[in-house]
Amino acid sequence: VQPSLLHGDLWSGNIGSADGEPSVFDPAVYWGHDEAEWGMSWCASLGAGFWQGYRELIPEDPGFYEREPLYLAYHYMNHYNLFGGGYLSSARQELEKVARNLDKRGA
């Protein structure tokens, strides 16, 4: 895995324009696997065209769908920490998927 500089809070509320050019702002920047940006895809309100363009620039790595629940769980837990509510059950469901994926690998 080659580390990438990630936005860290990629959703439609942090995308706009400046002088007629696309702009992404309010980052929670960190270095990590580019796949981590997909952890907000459930609430990002970014259209299919955005994610298709993302994949044109950064192709999907093998095994992404096995790792995706971990990235989703991170953001569900963060949302539960910030806002409470049903995010905890969503985080738990994603972590259970992670556990099943690890069990399949004998980990």
Q: Which of 9, 19, 61, 103 is catalytic?
A: 9
* Cα gap 63→89, rounded to integer Å: 24
Cβ neighbors of 40 (< 8 A, separation 6 or more) are 9, 10, 11, 75
Q: Is 9 considered catalytic here?
A: yes
Q: What are phi and psi of 41, to 5 degrees?
A: -60, -25
Strands (DSSP E) contained in the chain are 4-6, 15-18, 21-24, 30-32
CA distance 10 to 88: 21
Catalytic residues: 9
